[in-house]
Amino acid sequence: MLVFFEGAAPNIQRVIQAFKDESYLWWFAGAKRLADLYPSVVAALTQ
């Protein structure tokens, strides 16, 4: 896997937050079966 950080230090918390933000946008747009892929993320979004 090739990853570029463009001069920034890698930060796992930012990666996780970006993933949650993107998941929320897909969920908000009506993506189906998102919960099957990432149940804990979707559960957190719907609370």
Tokens coding 7: 């001069």
Residue 41 has pLDDT above 60, yes or no: yes
List, for residues 5-38, the tens digit of each pLDDT value: 677 777 888 888 888 888 788 877 887 776 676 6
The Cα–Cα gap between 28 and 47 comes to 13
C-alpha Rg value of the chain to the nearest Å: 13
Which of the pair, 47 or 15, is modelled with greater confidence?
15
Per-domain residue ranges of the chain = 12-45
Q: What is the pLDDT of residue 4?
A: 64
Tokens coding 40: 């804990």
For 29, the 3-state DSSP assignment is: coil
The Cα–Cα gap between 31 and 36 comes to 11
Is the four-CA dihedral 9, 11, 28, 1 of positive or negative sign? positive
Q: What is the pLDDT of residue 22?
A: 84
